[in-house]
Amino acid sequence: MDVLNFLADGFATALQWNNILFAFIGVVIGTAVGVLPGIGPMSGVALLIPVTASMTSGQDPASAATSAIILLAGVYYGAMYGGSTTSILLNTPGESSSVVTTLDGYQMAKQGRAGAALSIAAIGSFAAGIFSLVALIALAQPLSDLAIKFGPAEYTSLMLLGLAAVSGLAGKSMTKALIMTVMGLLLATIGMDNVSGVARFTYGFPILYGGLEFLTIAVGLFALGEVFKTIINREYATGEIAKVGRVLPTKQDMKTSAAPIARGSILGFFVGVLPGAGATLASFFSYIMEKKISKNPGKFGKGAIEGVAGPESANNAASGGAMVPLLTLGIPGSGTTAILMGALIMYNVQPGPLLFEDHPDVAWGLIASMFIGNLMLLLLNMPLVKVFAKIIETPPKYLLPIIVAISVFGVYAVQYTTFDLLLLIGCGIAGYFLAKNDYPLAPLVLGLVLGPMIENNMRRALTGSNGDFSVFLTKPLSLTFLVVAALWLIVPILLKMRGKKVVINEEV
């Protein structure tokens, strides 16, 4: 009953007119941040911290902290909603966790089902957001106790499981998927080594010391790769404009999407609780899981609505899950929650075990505002589906320059270097040739994301064990992840070999 009383007090705080206004401003800005490639929730939240300070001046410190964190959190989960829009309509991921949505969302748009894809993304995001908040209230303490048991060895094995599972994103060939995964890992090593300070694969170019920007490579491969494909194949010359079709999902779409939304919400929340895992990994895992359990896995990558519903639910649930270690332990689970933590500390509010005792108005006011913000996002996004979906009716001769402009603006806004613009073009060309030859692009992106995390955690684990690799096998959770990863790679190979033997015997 204490929890319900605290939540009621939180709603009393969140429903004050100024906090409703802050929540609305946050989710609107967050949606825009998600739609524009390059800004991302992390940059959006960081840019708005000084703005919130000026907006809340004159309020008492506790009210100012509550209002500011309500606005900044709105930007965070609003960006998770918005990221799907350009992924579905333009094959341009708004932020990293929306990369997976391009695989089926864009194919749906090309088939005239853009409205259904956008609607399901919004509905899935809302359901996942509400689920993650209920779970946050009920499970915050026990889940934090579990998350803190994850050491570097467990994280390394979890990331390796993620890479092994990437075979589920493979096109026709697991070998090609693994080649692309290794390519992503190799690209992730470029730059200064964080531990030794040695420059790796920089070839004397100072511009490479900071490594390759993830966004530049993702936007280049997916967005510009699609532009080059359209131009080279002269798809723009047909004169046919893709039709939006039905805006709201059909009953069959809702029925097909219900289970992926539920599974994505649960999976995304638990992945989000683990510090460092994040929404990107949650969306990849959700897509892999949906493809593995589907009775018709061949439809994935060709416009399967489950490929939109699952990952979109997972990345939104992960943003709620990431709040668990932040609020209860003072451990930021992602880059964005690290910035939110910095904002709280700036207002003299220390996240951690004492937050709910010392500042219950801030903690519960934030949780209650996220219920209100998710409802605002659903009411805001559903009417706009028709507006967003009209983008796909734009003739290619106008649409292609818009995609190029958004890509260039997004990349340049993050890095401010001409090198990244050249890298963007190079990745676009590479994306065209790789996709043309059935090399899946998603494994490369996942390798690029997980590479630094695997390396850092592996080094921390080996430092603690004095270089003894058995540390990965002696810890039960770590060993479990490694065994599952090995089975994920070996079982499909054995099944394929068995299938070939059966075919040979039948022919004989």
Closest by CA to 180, choosing from 490, 424, 447, 493, is 447
* Local structure of 111: helix, strand or coil: coil
How many angstroms separate the CA atoms of 171 and 2, rounded?
Answer: 51
Return per-residue pLDDT of the chain as tens, 508 residues: 577 787 888 888 888 888 899 999 998 888 877 776 656 676 677 767 767 777 766 677 778 888 888 888 888 888 877 778 878 887 777 677 778 888 888 888 888 888 888 889 889 989 998 998 888 888 766 665 666 677 889 888 877 887 776 655 555 677 888 888 899 899 999 998 877 788 999 988 888 988 888 778 877 887 788 788 878 887 655 444 455 566 677 888 888 889 999 999 999 998 887 765 677 788 888 988 888 888 888 888 888 888 899 999 998 888 888 888 778 777 666 667 777 877 787 788 877 767 777 888 888 888 888 889 889 888 887 777 677 666 656 677 777 887 788 778 777 876 678 898 999 999 999 999 998 888 888 778 778 877 887 888 899 899 888 889 999 999 988 999 899 888 878 877 787 777 655 444 444 4
DSSP letter at 237?
A: G
Backbone phi and psi for residue 99, each to the nearest 5 degrees, phi listed first: -60, -45
Q: Residue 448 corresponds to which amino acid?
A: L
With contact defined as beta carbons under 8 Å apart, do 18 and 55 qualify?
no
**Bridge partners (DSSP) listed for residue 191:** 200
* Local structure of 322: helix, strand or coil: coil
Sequence ranges of the domains in the chain: 3-497
**Per-residue tokens: 52:** 């919130």
- Indicate the pTM of the whole model: 0.69
With contact defined as beta carbons under 8 Å apart, do 271 and 323 qualify?
no
How many angstroms separate the CA atoms of 316 and 81, rounded?
Answer: 7
**Per-residue tokens: 123:** 């509905």
With contact defined as beta carbons under 8 Å apart, do 268 and 310 qualify?
no
With contact defined as beta carbons under 8 Å apart, do 59 and 352 qualify?
no
Angle at CA of residue 337, ends 68 and 154, nearest 5°? 165
Cβ neighbours of residue 249 closer than 8 Å, sequence gap 6 or more = 116, 119, 120, 123, 257, 305
How many angstroms separate the CA atoms of 166 and 446, rounded?
Answer: 8
How many angstroms separate the CA atoms of 55 and 26, rounded?
Answer: 12
DSSP letter at 220?
A: I
DSSP letter at 224?
A: I
